[in-house]
């Protein structure tokens, strides 16, 4: 069993940096055409250029995943311009500034839920419509270690990421008989721009989070990308409704 995705079309949100960009490139290296989706117009163009440098076909799409009309248009353009939709990675997300629950502003909570949960729901809704017509497909959603346990000062983020796992597992049961596999990936502490913001980008801040990792280091975006591509491939053909933890032992 291999992770060869030649002839397939992948759709990646949050694709302009970190895990999203790494996964778009990993899909391209596995042979898939890739729709690169994000709110950052310059970023999607750059990721598309990198996909093409890997020898892949790319479609750059500017899309706010909290806007149902924009999501529908992005999925429809993927089908029209790349020829279908076989694999989706719903990865767009934002972090929560450190704050105890009572100190989280209402609008900040709403924004985190809108991007990290509603965005996944909207993408899945329109991806599933296409995959049902196509006779199958795979969806991987980004949750987190914070989708598996509580973290102090992260109540809004943890709530959204726990909900992504519930959404994933329920949808997996809804569509398994239709040849559509839905799973989630739960990254631990990954060395990305988001983590730099979370740690303040200082040596002390980075070391503080590394100390939470039994493996003694941060993960890399490529390590998450490899897991997503595997879940999207025939090699994972019997994996349904799973929240795959890739976290260096943080939640063990």
pLDDT value, residue 205: 87
CATH code of the domain made up of 9-246: 3.40.50.720
Q: Known catalytic residue: 175?
A: no
Please say whether the beta carbons of 50 and 17 come within 8 A: no
CA pair distance 168, 18, nearest whole angstrom: 22
Instruction: Spell out the domain ranges in the chain.
Output: 9-246
Output Rg (C-alpha) for the chain, integer angstroms. 17
Q: Do 90 and 143 contact (CB within 8 A), yes or no?
A: no
Which pLDDT value is given to residue 143? 98
Which strands form 87-90's sheet, in the order they lie side by side?
58-62, 33-38, 9-13, 87-90, 137-142, 180-187, 243-246
All residues at 6 or more sequence positions from 181 whose CB lies less than 8 Å from its CB, including other chains: 137, 138, 139, 172, 231, 236, 237, 239, 240
Residue 87, both tokens = 């694999």
> Residue 84 class from Cβ within 10 Å (0-12 exposed, 13-18 middle, 19+ buried)?
middle
Give CA–CA dist 65/124, Å, rounded: 11
144 pLDDT exceeds 70? Answer: yes
List 11, 89, 109, 157, catalytic entry: 157
Q: What is the pTM of this model?
A: 0.95
How far apart CA 101 and CA 171 sit, in angstroms, is 29
The percentage of the chain sitting over the pLDDT mark of 70, rounded to a whole number, equals 100
Q: What is the pLDDT of residue 168?
A: 98
Rounded distance between C-alpha atoms, residue 164 and residue 141, angstroms: 7
Query: How confident is the model over 198-236, as pLDDT tens digits?
Result: 778 888 888 988 988 999 999 999 999 999 999 999 999
Residue 44: per-residue pLDDT: 98
């Amino acid at each position: 069993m291999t992770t060869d995705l030649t002839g397939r079309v992948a759709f990646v949100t949050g694709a302009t940096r970190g895990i999203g960009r790494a996964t778009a490139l990993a899909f391209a290296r596995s042979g898939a055409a890739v729709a690169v989706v994000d709110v950052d117009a310059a970023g999607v163009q750059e990721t598309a250029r990198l996909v093409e440098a890997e020898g892949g076909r790319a479609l750059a799409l500017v899309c706010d995943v909290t806007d149902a009309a924009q999501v529908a248009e992005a999925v429809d353009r993927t089908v029209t311009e790349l020829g279908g939709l076989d694999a989706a990675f719903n990865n767009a997300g934002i972090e929560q500034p450190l704050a105890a629950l009572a100190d989280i502003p209402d609008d900040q909570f709403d924004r985190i839920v809108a991007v990290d949960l509603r965005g996944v729901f909207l993408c899945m809704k329109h991806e599933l419509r296409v995959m049902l017509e196509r006779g199958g497909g795979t969806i991987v959603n980004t949750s987190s270690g914070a989708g598996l346990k509580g973290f102090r000062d992260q109540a809004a983020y943890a709530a959204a990421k726990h909900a992504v796992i519930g959404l994933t597992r329920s949808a997996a049961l809804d569509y398994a008989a239709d040849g559509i596999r839905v799973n989630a990936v739960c990254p631990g502490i990954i060395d990305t721009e988001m983590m730099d913001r979370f740690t303040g980008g200082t040596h002390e801040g980075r070391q503080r989070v590394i100390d939470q990792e039994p493996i003694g280091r941060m993960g890399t975006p490529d390590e998450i990308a490899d897991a997503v591509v595997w879940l999207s491939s025939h090699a994972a053909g019997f994996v349904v409704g799973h929240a795959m933890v890739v976290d260096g032992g943080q939640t063990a």
